[in-house]
Amino acid sequence: MLVLTRKKGEGLVIGKDINITILEVKGDTIKIGIDAPKNINICRQEIYVDVQMENKKSNEAKGDLKALASLLTKK
């Protein structure tokens, strides 16, 4: 993991298309601005993890439904 120190108004560039700027620092909270192409998905880590967990549960449920359907259609 690359660790950088930035001050308000400073930023960093990822690749050619993504710019991150430190907008505000208040105590232990930092507000950042992200300028990236529209095709780049950006979300908070905790939201991403929640979505991944829900997708996993959904896939497991689909597997359970397929197994149940298979049992019900067997003669």
Q: What is the pLDDT of residues 38-60, one digit of tens each?
A: 999 999 999 989 888 887 777 66
- What burial class does residue 46 get, using C-beta atoms within 10 Å of its C-beta: 0-12 exposed, 13-18 middle, 19+ buried? exposed
From the list 35, 30, 40, the residue with the least C-alpha distance to 13 is 35
pLDDT > 90 in the chain, percent: 60
pLDDT beyond 60 at 36: yes
CA 23 to chain centre: 21
Q: Are residues 36 and 54 in the same domain?
A: no
Please, which pLDDT band fits residue 37 given cuts at 50, 70 and 90? very high
How many structural domains are present in the chain?
2
pLDDT beyond 70 at 62: no
Q: Are residues 32 and 51 in the same domain?
A: no
Tokens of 68: 């149940």
Q: Are residues 47 and 36 in the same domain?
A: no
Average pLDDT over residues 10-20: 97
pTM: 0.65
- Write the single-letter amino acid at 74: K
Tokens of 72: 């019900």
Q: Are residues 49 and 34 in the same domain?
A: no
Q: Are residues 49 and 28 in the same domain?
A: no
Domain with 10 in it: 1-41
